[in-house]
Chains A and B, each alone.
Chain A
Amino acid sequence: MTGCYGLVRSSELETFVQGLIGGIVAVVVGLVLAGLTTFGVVNTVSSAPSQPDQSVMDYGTNQQAAE
């Protein structure tokens, strides 16, 4: 970063800024995904939808559960 008495060469500056932006983007994306995941897990576990009441002889249902 030095070598020019405190002046920064333009290519090094470019690399540094790219790294900084990339790093910030990566951390933000990571945090957003982590947040989504945490919320998703909590949401999934706490509000598992109940299935429509099916007959004992049914193979299953193709009707979506009511939230």
Chain B
Amino acid sequence: MRTTTGAWALRLAPVAWSALLALLMLGSALSPGLVLTYDMVWVPDLTVRGDFLGLGSNLPRAVPSDMVVALLDDVTTGVVLQKAVLVGALVLAGTGAWRLLGRAGVLAALAGSTFYVWNPFVAERLGIGHWPLLMTYAALPWIHLLARRLAAGERCLPQLVLWLAFASLNPVGGIIAGLYAVVGVAVDGRSAARAAAWTVASVVAVNAPWIAAGALHGTGTVSDPAAVRLFAAQAEGVLPAWAAALGLGGIWNAEVVPASRTSWVGLVSLLLVLAVCGAGLRSWLGAEGRQARLALTAPAALGLVVALAGTVAPGLVGWLVGHVPGGGLVRDGTRFLALLAPLLAVLFGRGVARLTASVPARTPAAVLGTVLVLMPVTLMPDAALGLSGRLDAVDLPADFEAARRAVEESRRAGREGDVLSLPFTSYRRPGWNDGRRTLDPVGRYLPADYLASDTLVVSGTEVAGEDARARRVARDLATMTGRDLERALAGEGIAWVVADREATRALAAEGLDAPAYGTLPELPGARVLHDGELLTVWELPDPASEPAGTVSSRPVRLGVLLGAWALAGGVVAAAALRVATRRWTTSRQMRREA
């Protein structure tokens, strides 16, 4: 009986420990309401729309994540789904790291799991709202294990496909996960050539939606090279950029760096982590074969190189970003530090086990083991409780719902087109979000495709967006008024204009209420559909004709994109079916044998 209970406790330990860490880190983010922080903008019900397929004029940065969320939040609410995603990602990350260290003992697994969940990469990416990247990060240990099994000749491709799909909800995530999988298999050389080819095909298939959408944009996928210096890895406190990156930190945005990383605690933390990892190196070298080691070290080295490339060689990266379509994916290079994290977690776990085992007396060994396992948490305590309150959940204002109903009624009446969200700036600091910065949430809340600014401002420096339509609209807002502006906007496919009064007032308070930002639009022929405390919605006069330039190209683009989505969906469905069938057959065999 005791053995059975012990076995159950051991089986539940990875999930229970990871869940405990996840709950401690997320804290107030799990209270009722939605978390809006920088790029993480969730709404109660995200409507399915054409742009989520990749049809929009902006780059497909949120393909396929937006469509997946829009479909899943029809099953449950956006509030529940967001919390499930955040908790789920951290729990899967912790349990995956535990599995990576399964053969090294419970203490090593416990320590590795703690490190993998509680480190600067997770805290900073959570802070900036890169939740699809955190899903990629969570999947990496699982992808590594499956890739190694596949290379060894096991028939586990369907499971690998499902993890790749889970990890590939945006372009950068797809590249990181795909790279990890392919390297994990290909390091076995010729003996795994066939498995490697299947892995490459799977990676291309699950990433087909954003690859197709990006390809349809053609040269429009090149980005502003000036952004490279702004988004390069940064120093954190006394740590220079390279040292911060080595400790999985160094994100470009100083606002989301935990305060503990900017004090001397960051230096102590890095030195201790590296010392413990060093202690675990010999144990790891002895326990794993050459290929398995290469499968972890090669992506880790690549991740570190990409993370630091923008700092070390900004000119080269700038050329890549400005000339090679899709090169902009590497401009925020520290996202690729995800590739380094599994290696560090394995070394850290083994180091803790080795140091603890070197103490012969039991009680002091237990003290040391406990202290070392908890070290990642205790040296970055401000990552707890929703990053010290930065992730507080809030309720979106009722005015948003009223604006949504107004646009819905207009659509039911037969009006078609896109929403233009004003002021024409990317980020807001709404009072209802306690002044915390967030990507403009209005467009996502409304039920139609929307056009928002994709120009980014970092420390007062503007980074030009890639969306040509957004550039034209910004020019129109700056140079036209009245009926001319209405006609120009309608020509760009805009049917509704929504102005956020609070954001307009905030810009005016800083003297930034320039016409280019559309803060004071004069729309004499437009009909006011809603005029609330926060939002005003206008319906532009119907031009009674299709927007220029979209008629001929749209069906072709739609056909290509639907093909890509069908490929990805078909591969994922086939893999899921195969896994389910195999599980059912195995359980039936076990019942028979029993």
Contact residues of A with B, CB < 8 Å?
15, 18-20, 22-27, 29-30, 33-34, 36-37, 40-41, 43-45, 47-49, 51-52, 54-65, 67
Beta-carbon nearest neighbor of B382 in chain A:
A44
Taking CB atoms and an 8 Å cut-off, the chain B residues in 153-182 that contact chain A are: none
B481: A residues at CB distance < 8 A: none
Give 22 CB contacts A-B under 8 Å: A22-B359, A23-B361, A27-B364, A29-B371, A30-B368, A33-B372, A40-B260, A44-B381, A45-B381, A51-B254, A52-B459, A54-B255, A56-B429, A56-B510, A57-B507, A58-B457, A59-B426, A60-B437, A61-B254, A62-B232, A63-B459, A67-B262
Beta-carbon nearest neighbor of A24 in chain B:
B364
A21 smallest CB distance to B (angstroms): 9
Per-residue CB contact flags for chain B residues 360-402 toward chain A (1 = under 8 Å, else 0) read 1101110110111001001101100000100000000000000
A43: B residues at CB distance < 8 A: 263-265
Beta-carbon nearest neighbor of B356 in chain A:
A26
Known: A41-B378, A61-B458. Is A56-B506 also a contact (CB below 8 A)? yes
B220 smallest CB distance to A (angstroms): 21
Q: How far is the CA of A52 from the CA of B235 in the complex (A)?
A: 16
B252: A residues at CB distance < 8 A: 60, 62
Closest 8 CB pairs of A and B: A26-B364, A60-B253, A23-B364, A37-B378, A40-B265, A26-B368, A23-B361, A22-B359
Contact A44 B260 (CB under 8 A): yes
Per-residue CB contact flags for chain B residues 295-314 toward chain A (1 = under 8 Å, else 0) read 00000000000000000000
Contact A55 B457 (CB under 8 A): yes
A48: B residues at CB distance < 8 A: 259, 382, 388
Q: How far is the CA of A34 from the CA of B234 in the complex (A)?
A: 29
B368 smallest CB distance to A (angstroms): 4
Beta-carbon nearest neighbor of A63 in chain B:
B459
Q: How far is the CA of A27 from the CA of B536 in the complex (A)?
A: 65
Contact B359 A59 (CB under 8 A): no
Q: Is B420 an interface residue (CB 8 A)?
A: no
Beta-carbon nearest neighbor of B358 in chain A:
A22
Q: How far is the CA of A56 from the CA of B509 in the complex (A)?
A: 10
Contact B503 A56 (CB under 8 A): yes
| Cβ-neighbour of B262 out of A54, A57, A65 (below 8 A) | A65
Known: A18-B360, A57-B426, A62-B234. Is A30-B253 also a contact (CB below 8 A)? no
Q: How far is the CA of A47 from the CA of B517 in the complex (A)?
A: 37
Which among B128, B253, B368, B509 has the greatest number of chain A C-beta atoms within 10 A?
A: B368
Contact B254 A62 (CB under 8 A): yes
Contact A33 B371 (CB under 8 A): yes
Contact B263 A64 (CB under 8 A): no
Known: A49-B259, A62-B459, A64-B234. Is A57-B368 also a contact (CB below 8 A)? no
A47: B residues at CB distance < 8 A: 259, 263
Q: How far is the CA of A36 from the CA of B124 in the complex (A)?
A: 23
Beta-carbon nearest neighbor of A15 in chain B:
B360
Beta-carbon nearest neighbor of B236 in chain A:
A64
Known: A15-B360, A44-B265, A56-B428. Is A26-B253 also a contact (CB below 8 A)? no
Known: A18-B360, A43-B263. Is A59-B457 also a contact (CB below 8 A)? yes
B256: A residues at CB distance < 8 A: 60
Q: How far is the CA of A48 from the CA of B263 in the complex (A)?
A: 9
Contact A37 B425 (CB under 8 A): no
Beta-carbon nearest neighbor of A56 in chain B:
B506
Q: How far is the CA of A47 from the CA of B382 in the complex (A)?
A: 12
Known: A23-B363, A40-B268. Is A59-B368 also a contact (CB below 8 A)? no
Contact B367 A61 (CB under 8 A): no
B426: A residues at CB distance < 8 A: 57, 59
Q: Is B450 an interface residue (CB 8 A)?
A: no
